[in-house]
């Protein structure tokens, strides 16, 4: 059954630019979906609509049973605790330790006030350490994040997203800043941990070959339109 459902979703930016045009799309629980398209096609807009970092201007966008376009801020916050985000630029706090960065994934569970004074329950520490181990950087737990390579920093952000224990992971160009061998290693890790946790994962990539290697399903965008949606076997004649 669909965990995420776009029904005729459009997004017009304040300057009049149409970022998304009448998108219809259903994404099932546990799917690993890759969105491809040229720069400016609307990939980022589509992915950021799902946690309402950008807000579509019409249509219905169901996430885990709720139309998020209808939610008030307080309700939206709750939905967002179920959605982990991974960005091209890692978005980690470089002066903090790796472990502190990963613990940030617990904020929605533990509460900001207690975590502000540096207190996290033992259980949170275990979850965070376990996730660092799963992406192979547990030995770096007490190192300042700024001392890590790009690939390692992106693993920190994967571990942080997992530590949130979300249902959905949104990854907006997660490997665009990494060299090709590192990109593949990071994509492999992301796919493996998503599978292990049964997560629904949506990833933007701009290389079709990489998409074909990792996706269960590929969605193609062009000028804000959904122009392809299918399993990888069907991609070849579209490219």
Q: List the one residue out of 65, 68, 83, 74 whose CA is nearest residue 9.
A: 68
What is the rounded CA–CA span in Å between residue 226 and residue 9?
A: 11
Q: Pick the binder of ligand ADP from 31, 33, 37, 152 (CB under 6 A).
A: 37
Taking the complex as a whole, the smallest distance from the CB of residue 66 to ligand ADP amounts, in Å, to 23
For the bound state, the minimum distance from the C-beta of residue 224 to ligand ADP, rounded and expressed in Å, comes to 7
Q: Any residues with CB less than 8 A from the CB of 127 and at least 6 apart, and which?
A: 106, 163, 165
**DSSP label of 207:** -
Should residue 17 be labelled a site residue for ligand ADP when binding is judged by CB under 6 A? yes
In angstroms, what is the minimal distance from the CB of 15 to ligand ADP?
5
CA angle 173/176/179 to nearest 5° reads: 145
8 A C-beta contact, residue 203 and residue 174: yes
Which of 4, 9, 19, 156: binder of ligand ADP (CB under 6 A)? 19
Q: Near ligand ADP by CB under 6 A, which window of 39-47, 62-70, 151-159, 183-191?
A: 39-47
119 binds ligand ADP (CB under 6 A): no
* 34, 219 contact by CB (below 8 A): yes
- 15 is a contact residue toward ligand ADP (CB under 6 A): yes
Q: How far is the CB of 117 from ligand ADP (least distance, A)?
A: 32
Point out which residues bind ligand ADP (CB under 6 A).
Answer: 13, 15, 17, 19, 37, 39-45
């Amino acid at each position: 059954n669909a965990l995420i459902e776009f029904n005729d979703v459009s997004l017009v930016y304040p300057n009049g630019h149409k970022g998304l045009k009448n998108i219809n799309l259903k994404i099932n629980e546990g799917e690993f979906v890759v969105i491809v398209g040229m720069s400016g096609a609307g990939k980022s807009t589509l992915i950021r609509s799902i946690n309402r970092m950008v807000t579509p201007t019409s249509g219905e966008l169901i996430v885990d049973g709720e139309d998020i376009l209808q939610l008030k801020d307080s309700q939206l916050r709750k939905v967002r605790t179920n959605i982990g985000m991974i960005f091209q630029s890692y978005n980690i706090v470089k002066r903090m330790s790796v472990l502190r960065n990963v613990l940030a994934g617990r904020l929605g569970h533990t509460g900001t006030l207690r975590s502000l004074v540096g207190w996290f329950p033992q259980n949170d520490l275990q979850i965070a350490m376990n996730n660092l181990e799963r992406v192979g950087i547990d030995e770096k737990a007490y190192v300042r994040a700024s001392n890590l390579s790009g690939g390692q920093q992106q693993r920190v952000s994967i571990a942080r997203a997992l530590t949130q224990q979300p249902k959905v992971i949104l990854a907006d160009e997660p490997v665009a800043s990494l060299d090709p061998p590192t990109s593949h290693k990071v994509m492999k890790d992301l796919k493996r941990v998503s599978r292990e946790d049964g997560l629904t994962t949506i990833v933007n990539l701009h290389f079709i070959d990489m998409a074909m290697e990792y996706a269960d399903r590929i969605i193609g965008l062009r000028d804000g339109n959904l122009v392809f949606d299918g399993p990888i076997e069907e991609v070849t004649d579209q490219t």
